[in-house]
């Protein structure tokens, strides 16, 4: 595949189909980031208890980072001659990040974050694959974002490990 597409100019007329595919993938990524911003706002405010503080602070910092990702995806959509969608085409998917029944249930939040980050890692890995040989700039940008998501997941896996070690998860 990479051989056939060598020298592809993603902005050229004949790359219309490739661009369409990239825009589709980037749009999904954009919505994932927007939903993550919403979820991390609620998860950085709702939890109660001494142990929740570390999680809340960490998520509060991540909001800015996820918002930055959303902007990067939006800008790339524009650069590829696409249109950043309006809010009416948004549909929520992050079931695991809805507030728990009890706001002291920090494990619910940690598991939800791990699931959301895993979803992002899977989708961004597929963008990196599909962009190969077709759109190097998107690929390069998404590799950086993928690195951020791996870092986020690793941090929350560490939080979960602590709860598991104490028999709380």
Contact residues for Fe ion, defined by CB under 5 A = 33, 66, 69, 149, 152
| Rounded Cα distance, 103 and 86, in Å | 32
Q: Which is nearer to Fe ion, 32 or 134 (CB)?
A: 32
Nearer to Fe ion, 18 or 117 (CB): 117
Q: Closest separation between CB of residue 67 and Fe ion, Å? A: 9
d(CA 60, CA 83): 29
CB 118 to Fe ion: min, Å? 10
Report in angstroms how near the CB of residue 143 gets to Fe ion at its nearest: 13
In angstroms, what is the minimal distance from the CB of 167 to Fe ion? Answer: 28
Closer to Fe ion by Cβ: residue 111 or 152: 152
Of the pair 8, 160, the CB lying nearest Fe ion is at 160
Q: Which is nearer to Fe ion, 16 or 151 (CB)?
A: 151
Contacts of 119 (CB under 8 A, 6+ apart): 32, 94
Sole residue written with tokens 């809010």:
87
Cα three-residue angle 37-39-76, rounded to 5 degrees? 30
Shortest spacing between CB 127 and Fe ion, in angstroms? 12
Q: Mention every residue, 6+ apart, whose C-beta is less than 8 A from residue 66.
A: 33, 36, 37, 40
Looking at beta carbons, which pairs linking 140-143 to residues 24 or more positions away fall under 8 Å?
A: 141/72, 141/76, 142/29
């Amino acid at each position: 595949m990479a051989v056939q597409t060598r020298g592809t100019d993603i902005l050229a007329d004949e790359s219309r189909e490739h661009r369409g595919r990239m825009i589709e993938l980037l749009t999904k990524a954009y919505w994932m980031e927007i939903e993550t911003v919403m979820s991390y706002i609620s998860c950085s405010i709702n939890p109660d208890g001494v142990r929740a503080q570390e999680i809340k602070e960490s998520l509060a910092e991540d909001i800015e980072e996820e918002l930055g990702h959303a902007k990067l995806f939006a800008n790339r959509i524009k650069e590829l001659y696409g249109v950043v969608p309006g809010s009416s085409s948004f549909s929520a998917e992050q079931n695991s990040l809805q507030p728990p029944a009890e706001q002291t249930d920090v494990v619910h939040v940690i598991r939800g974050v791990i699931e959301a980050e895993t979803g992002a890692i899977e989708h961004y890995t597929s963008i990196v694959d599909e962009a190969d040989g077709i759109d190097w700039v998107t690929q390069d940008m998404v590799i950086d974002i993928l690195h951020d998501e791996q870092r986020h997941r690793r941090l929350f896996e560490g939080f979960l490990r602590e709860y598991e070690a104490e028999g709380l998860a």
